[in-house]
Amino acid sequence: MALQTGGFTWSYYSDYTIGWQFDLSSPVTVTALGFLDYDGDMVDSHPVGIWDVNGILLATATVQPGDPETGGFLFRAITPVDLPAGSGYVAGALPTINDTWGNGAAYAHYSAPVSFVQYVYGPGGTLNFPSTAGGYVGQNVYALANFKFTTSVAPLPPAVLLFGSGLMALAGWQRCRKG
């Protein structure tokens, strides 16, 4: 899970996509998207997304009441999406009037290789790229969108595979020659 949070001091509704920008120090595969349900009484469905820094939507899901819960977030599984290491990703979600959301969390912990950059938001009433800086670095926590991930295993370079195949062929040829 990318974000762990708790101890909310207050909450409210807004007509904005609320999110946070992050960087990755190594590649990950996103397997589920989550929406905050800290008090366990989510009523509405909530769209959640991950974008690149240019606003291109890379992953999306609609989290439903009753989806599996982990750490105060409900998660909806998605077709796995690979995110390469680098900077400029954004996770965001859209709250509703029936499901208030946490702001002012007592702590927020981001799991490596995820590193927090800033909180962001974007108006519109639908799930939109949240590109406006929230101005809350080190103050409040817009802990609304989350995601689960696995660390990606770097594939072997083709040259290594070709070399290994050549060694196996050579060993087989030696056996046939001796036998």
Domains of the chain: 3-153 (2.60.120.820)
Q: Which helix (H) or strand (E) holds 37?
A: none
Q: pLDDT tens digits for 54-78?
A: 999 999 999 999 999 998 889 999 9
Mean per-residue pLDDT over the chain, rounded: 80
The strand pair at 57-63 and 46-52 is best described as: antiparallel
d(CA 167, CA 77): 41
The pTM score is: 0.78
pLDDT > 70 in the chain, percent:
66
